[in-house]
Amino acid sequence: MKPVQMLDYIVILAYMLITLGVGVYFKNFNKGAADFFKGGNQIPWLVSGLSAFMTGFSAWTFTAASGIAYDHGIIIILLYLGNALTFLFGYWLFAARWRRARISSPMEYLSERFDQPTRQTFSWSTVFFDLFMVSVWLFALGKYVAVATQIPVNWVILGAGGIILAYCLVGGLWAVVVTDFLQGVILLPFTIILAFAAVYKIGGVTEFLSALPAEMLTVGHSEYSSWIFLVSWTMMVIFGYNTRAHAQRYYSVDTEKSAKKISLLNFVLFVLGAFIWFIPPMATRILYPEIGAMWPNASNPQEGAYAVISLTLLPHGLIGVMLAAIFSASMSNISSYYNLFSAIVTTDIVPRFYRKPLDDKQKMFIGQVTTLVVGLLVPALALFMAGSGHSAFNLMNSFNSIISIAYGPPALIGFLSRKTPHWSGLFYFVIALILGSVGWFYWGWNIPENVLYVTPLSIVIMFGSSYLTGFLKEKNIYVQRRALFFKKQDTPIDVKKEVGDSSHIEHLVFSFLARVTALIAVLSLLFILFNDDGEMLTIILYSSITLLLAIIFLVLSKRKSLLKPDVLHEGR
């Protein structure tokens, strides 16, 4: 296992500078609140789609989830295939509906579909719980980098938190999604190469499978490795991956068709990721069966499995890319929620304290102040978690399970059921939030109990309540508001009238991505100068894949019409 060298630290620093550069470059794309919170509905679907993919996982994947792969085997692959399945539900049921909601915050539609108290309760509770969940992601990032580099975890948390805050504060959603896209360009080639290198190191696929302990290729031998856990996990992420930050990606594009393309892209990428991400930590189990002996003082040493295999197989320079890739996974996830929090606070919470509607300048100011406050709170919470000694896996599951099961069913069923009364969403949410919190923190529930006990309740309340409207009469204002909402849902997006021509923006975005990606490809070739001849092929392969992506982006930019700059914000 190689130590991290100065070249790797230089690569990480270069990656951070590129990230900050993206925020500065896209600052000029934010002419108002619509741009800051939803990209003016002009974000290209491929960019928004890869951003949604990067938002769907974090360093948690390469720490806690890799620890599950090291300990329990293929169950983690099946769990992530469950993640992929959720995006088919998005394609069939939810992507187009989110786009037709015509909103700037995923909570905004709740007042139209249900009522204002529902919107306010959901907004405050989601921000509260998701703040803790995002802090877990930053904590997991700190743990991973600390294992690989021996840099104190607190330093990593503070450094990464500061950089995320900087580009979110300056660039808004445009900076978030484009940075996510570049992070995906860095991460995907690296993870594919490492997966193949791990199997090759063992001696091929047959040798890899035969060398694993038999129970790692089966389901049912542990708490996490069970069919009931798998089913519960999939049900939970259906709610999580079709609401909140992913909903923001759906409504930030131009049309319903573009929103559905995001779902299909994420389905394909998560199927790929389920294998390429977890083959390396399973290979670590073969090469280093006693990983605990390597870090005797670590509370969860198996969570360093991905770092160990990376430091074993990668040449210097690509080790830096590996660390940058893990940074990118968490930074994309965390930054998405920074922007989401600012959208919820600005659109859903603060206006309730003002008599007059907020103008665009006030919304931008509130959004940036919220981003600043969140950017200070999250690292503080992550530092507290780092000192607690708890597993990142268990912490993430607790917060994600509680809020996903409480918020997800009414948010999604509200799109599907036209007769569900206005009070049903809040009624279920309060019961689910109390039951989930008490169950998890007092009765010791885990994901299966929380999902299997609480989710059927959502079906009974949300669909059953529609049969009570004959006894519990609603005021006409709620009935009329709901009718207007579903009329909007039945009305296709008129791109010319509601969005304007975005081809010039797509040209600018893909041209920028092509240049930066090509720069990364060329600079990565310099790693050859610092490594042995035997590692040259790995470096050339990484550079070639990255350069191929740059060429694809260049082609995409040339396909877009070069319109006059004055259409940049037309129709917003």
CATH number at residue 321: 1.20.1730.10
**Within a domain: residue 162?**
yes
**Has residue 135 been placed in a domain?**
yes
**Residue type at position 363:** K
Single residue among 333, 360, 386 that ends a domain in this structure: 386
Structural domain total, the chain: 2
The helix/strand/coil state of 223 is coil
Whether 512 and 376 share a structural domain: no
Q: Note whether 505 and 366 are same-domain residues.
A: no
461 within some domain? no
108 secondary structure, DSSP code = T
pLDDT digits (tens, 9 = 90+) for 458-505: 888 888 887 776 666 778 899 999 999 999 999 999 998 998 877 788
Which domain, by its residues, includes 176? 6-386
Give residue 281's pLDDT. 96
In this prediction, residue 572 carries a pLDDT of: 39
CA neighbor of 143 nearest in space, from 319, 385, 431, 494 = 385
Q: Is residue 470 part of a domain?
A: no
Find the helix or strand (DSSP H, E) in which 70 lies. Answer: helix 64-72
Q: So what's the pLDDT on residue 396?
A: 62
d(CA 287, CA 316): 20
Distance of CA 310 to the CA centre of its chain: 23
439-458 pLDDT, tens digit per residue, is 887 887 877 888 888 888 88
373 lies in some domain = yes
Single out the residue in 345, 361, 386 at which a domain terminates: 386
Q: Which residues in the chain show pLDDT less than 50?
A: 561-572
In a domain, 456, yes or no: no
φ and ψ at 28, to 5 degrees?
-70, -10
Residues 505, 373: one domain?
A: no
Asked if residue 113 is part of any domain, the answer here is: yes
Asked, for residue 393, whether it belongs to a domain, the answer is no
Cβ-contact 567, 506 below 8 angstroms: no
Q: What is the dihedral of CA 342, 346, 348, 354, to 10 degrees?
A: 160
Note whether 130 and 266 are same-domain residues. yes
Write down the pLDDT at residue 545. Answer: 95
**Single pTM value for the model:** 0.89
3-state secondary structure of 356: coil
Give the domain-ending residue among 364, 386, 408.
386
Please check whether residues 379 and 255 belong to one and the same domain. Answer: yes
